[in-house]
Amino acid sequence: NAGVTQTPKFRVLKTGQSMTLLCAQDMNHEYMYWYRQDPGMGLRLIHYSVGEGTTAKGEVPDGYNVSRLKKQNFLLGLESAAPSQTSVYFCASSYLQGILQPQHFGDGTRLSIL
């Protein structure tokens, strides 16, 4: 049981390049989330999904797109990377069992945009 797995762990991009971050969970969780973490800013929600085929905007969605084609996977895309998107990206998952359950986080992806 791997929990939440993020790939890649590190990446360096040039401004204007595109890339996709992959999050996979093996806990059969309905909810999945993408956060970015910058110094002093805490965890800010980019997009999230409450089930397969659904996505919703979070606090800082601009410049990112997401897809949830399979329940276990949640992809985060940067179509044209900008230096302001340099950050650590965390994926998380959780579920409802009558009431909201804790979010489980992946190890993060460290992304630098030059």
Please give the residue ranges that form the binding site for other proteins (CB under 8 A): 31, 33, 40-45, 48, 50, 58, 90, 94, 96, 99-100, 102-108
Compute the CA torsion angle 5, 21, 60, 62 (nearest 10 deg).
Answer: -160
Q: Do you know the residue count of the chain? A: 114
Choose among 96, 47, 91, 95: nearest CA to 73.
91
| Residues in a beta bridge with 36 | 44, 89
Closest distance of CB 91 from other proteins, Å? 10
- Which amino acid appears at position 10 of this protein? F
Closest distance of CB 64 from other proteins, Å? 16
* Of 14 and 39, CB closest to other proteins: 39
* Of 57 and 70, CB closest to other proteins: 57
* Of 69 and 99, CB closest to other proteins: 99
> Which spans in the chain are helix H?
none
* Of 74 and 90, CB closest to other proteins: 90
